[in-house]
Structure 1
Amino acid sequence: MKQTLLWDECPGEVRAGLLKDGKLVELRIFRPQASSLVPTTIYTARIKQRLGGGKAIVDLGSLIEAQLENAPDMPEGHLLAVELVRSAIPEPGRWKLPLVRTAPDVSAQSTVGLHPGQEPRKWFVARMLVSVDEVVCANANVARDLRSDIADEGLRISIDPERIEQADLDSLVESAVSGEFAIDGGVVSIERTRAMTMIDIDGSGDPVALNLAAAREIPRLLRLLDIGGQVGIDFLAMPDRAARQNLDSALATACVHLGPHERTAANGFGFVQIIRPRHGPSAPEILCGITPGRLSVESKAVALLRAATRSHGHGKRRLVATPAVIDKLQGWLSEIQKLRKILGTEIELVPDSSATGYGHVHVSHI
């Protein structure tokens, strides 16, 4: 089975799409300006506040806090080595702190911070290249930068912008933000709550047929969008036990390629729960942050950079957006510099309170 990685990179973001035999099975998003913690990396932490239930808040340095599970009996201010289990997770209206656990085999250093480990981008590259036969990039500059992060010098890297365009990752991103995905005769809706990810099925056709179509599609979407943790699926009411058993069988078959997970059988109300490992935010969480259903300010800033990268012309680019988006971009000087280098022209950031969406790019003809 041939595996190809589509590497769609622009300033501020990498979209990595994994193809298996030509079908997109995974979309992963990496944002260098937002990714500072790497799972399984060891940090020196300082116990900042002890909580109930054997938990504590620890300081990882650089104003980063994390929650420590099964905290050892140590006083506040004590240093210890911890391992990152899960990076910060956005929930509706708030962020959950990164999750760490003690690393007893590593001695704590004298100051808080990162032990020598893998740089976030290189960790992401290595994660995505497992068992990949080929990487496809949109242009030679992206291919060159990626090559510098790859240990396997024999891995084939090709340049094929049309192939990336055909994957239509933009449409997938739009669906990930809205949470709505079409199935035969209906639609699957994915909604984030603080308790779990809820999935609903709607349609006007036969309920049994709709349920079976959803059962075949939902595991694919969970893997595609990297949705982990607790997932609740509210299937349509079924007429009898035989229908529930057929649904369970279809769901079990579809979950074969889902990876490690636990799954309950459909109860009398048609509710099923799936639990998957969760090491960081899913694609919808990265795109929407704490505002489910719409792009976060960070995502709007990235979208504006992507639009600027795709713009044509030789004149100066004026990136116009709301003050919040422009403020975000002004803090990403390295990404603006990358954009300036790609386009070979000056970049001007213009705040405009009346701007809609993520803003727009104006190409000067002077």
Structure 2
Amino acid sequence: MKGRQIILDHLGTREAAALMVDGQLHDLLVEADAPRPGTIYRARATKPQKGQGGIFLETPDGNAFLKQVKGIAPGDMLTVQLTGYAEESKALPVTLKLLFKSRYAIVTPDAPGLNISRSIRDDARRDELMMIAKDEMQGLEMGLILRSSCEEASDEDIAEDLRAMVDLAQTVLGEAGTAPEVLTEGDSPHVLAWRDWVEPADIVTEAGSFASHGVLEAVDALQNAYVKLAGGASLYIEPTRALTAVDVNTGADGSFAAGTRANFACAKELPRQLRLRGLGGQITIDLAPMPKKDRRGFEASLRAALKADGIDTVLAGFTPLGHYELQRKRARLPLAELLNEANA
């Protein structure tokens, strides 16, 4: 089916949202047992870990780790925000830089200034948005980013959304207490879909829509290590305890350029596969043989695909053995783990 569809349903007992583009699963969000990224805590500092450049905090959801020690003493109460999912047996990653993010606006209490997304290039529209920002933020010591979704939105919707984020920020920052507490939870999959999937799309909310629109079939395919690529090439994506191994194969193509074609196809498809499978941490790609002169083009293609993906990923580069390494933020939990929880 052509076009974009946002499908809001459940996987087992878990709330989930799927984004289909031209009949292909483009993104998938599934509720987890773990605390949601974006959750804001009042936390108590416990013990500094100077060797690691941070300090442990006590939260209602367990220990958290803040990469900052200067000016913080054990017993201090801090307001922090969860930035992602914790690795197994490790503390929750948190930051002092709070973001109150919605569909049209991001309120930044610790970063003053009024900013508009660079992707909005129409000068007249930028001027209109700046007037909205100045009117709504007047007298407030907070920063603001108006997102790219503001370009086609109505001024009234933007102002209403902005006011809601300012009210939430003021409420959270005004909370006083002497014990660790959850001040506001991160967004659920359905809210995240509304917040971040802003391009025009058909919205499907009927129960059982995952089955009728091909989402369940796509999810089943993601449980297989094998991924078919264009031209008969393929990937095998296999998570281990230490890293995720990606093996690129040329298939039956025995031509001189087969390896290069397979590797470029991998660069285009891999970010989508990692996003859908919820894989982060260290990624090692065992590339098909290709001339060294093609390495720069492969890296540029991979960088462009990862930029569009939106999840922070560091391109570490080629190893002496010719493998390519990435370090990817753990922005999501592994899909296999979520499916096990949903079916339990």
TM-score category of the 2 structures, normalised to the smaller one? 0.5 to 0.7
Q: Which residue is equivalent to 2:38?
A: 40
Deviations 1:164-200 (A, max 9, x none): 4354333433343343322343431222245443211
Query: Please, which runs of 5 or more residues in structure 1 have no aligned partner?
Result: 140-160, 288-295, 302-366
Q: Which residue is equivalent to 2:265?
A: 213
Change (3 A) 1:122 1:24: closer
Q: Which residue is equivalent to 1:6?
A: 7
1:247 is displaced (CA, Å) by 3.5
Q: Could you state the TM-score of these two structures normalised by the residue count of structure 2?
A: 0.62
Change (3 A) 1:203 1:241: closer
Q: Distance in 2 between matches of 1:66 and 1:280?
A: 17
**Aligned pairs, number:** 261
Cα pair 1:3 1:20 within 8 Å, conserved: yes
Matches within 5 A, 1:25-174: 25-31=26-32, 34-35=33-34, 37-51=35-49, 52-61=51-60, 63-89=61-87, 94-103=88-97, 106=173, 109-116=177-184, 120=188, 123-127=191-195, 129-139=197-207, 164-165=210-211, 167-174=213-220
Deviations 1:281-338 (A, max 9, x none): 2434534xxxxxxxx4x2431xxxxxxxxxxxxxxxxxxxxxxxxxxxxxxxxxxxxx
1:218 is displaced (CA, Å) by 1.5
CA RMSD, Structure 1 to Structure 2 (Å): 3.4
Cα pair 1:8 1:138 within 8 Å, conserved: yes
Change (3 A) 1:87 1:277: closer
Percent of pairs identical after alignment? 25
Partner SS state of residue 6, structure 2: strand
Q: Which residue is equivalent to 2:239?
A: 192
Change (3 A) 1:252 1:7: same
1:235 is displaced (CA, Å) by 0.3
Q: Which residue is equivalent to 1:176?
A: 222
Q: Distance in 2 between matches of 1:127 and 1:170?
A: 23
Query: Please, which runs of 5 or more residues in structure 2 have no aligned partner?
Result: 99-109, 111-172
Matches within 5 A, 1:263-342: 263=315, 266=318, 269-287=321-339, 296=340, 298-301=341-344
1:15 alignment partner AA: A
1:43 is displaced (CA, Å) by 0.8
Higher RCO (CA < 8 A, seq sep 6+): 2
1:5 is displaced (CA, Å) by 0.6
Q: Could you state the TM-score of these two structures normalised by the residue count of structure 1?
A: 0.59
Cα pair 1:18 1:25 within 8 Å, conserved: yes
Change (3 A) 1:179 1:59: farther
Q: Distance in 2 between matches of 1:19 and 1:169?
A: 8
1:45 is displaced (CA, Å) by 0.7
Cα pair 1:186 1:203 within 8 Å, conserved: yes
Change (3 A) 1:25 1:267: same
Partner SS state of residue 96, structure 1: coil
Cα pair 1:45 1:80 within 8 Å, conserved: yes
Matches within 5 A, 1:198-277: 198-202=245-249, 204-205=251-252, 206=254, 207-208=258-259, 209-238=261-290, 240-245=291-296, 247-248=298-299, 250-251=301-302, 254-255=305-306, 257-259=308-310, 261-263=313-315, 266=318, 269-277=321-329
Change (3 A) 1:244 1:102: closer
Change (3 A) 1:195 1:132: farther
Partner SS state of residue 71, structure 1: coil
Q: Distance in 2 between matches of 1:164 and 1:262?
A: 33
Q: Distance in 1 between matches of 2:307 and 2:26?
A: 13
Cα pair 2:317 2:326 within 8 Å, conserved: no
Change (3 A) 1:138 1:57: same
2:56 alignment partner AA: I
Q: Distance in 2 between matches of 1:177 and 1:299?
A: 14
Deviations 1:236-267 (A, max 9, x none): 232x2234345445545644632364435556
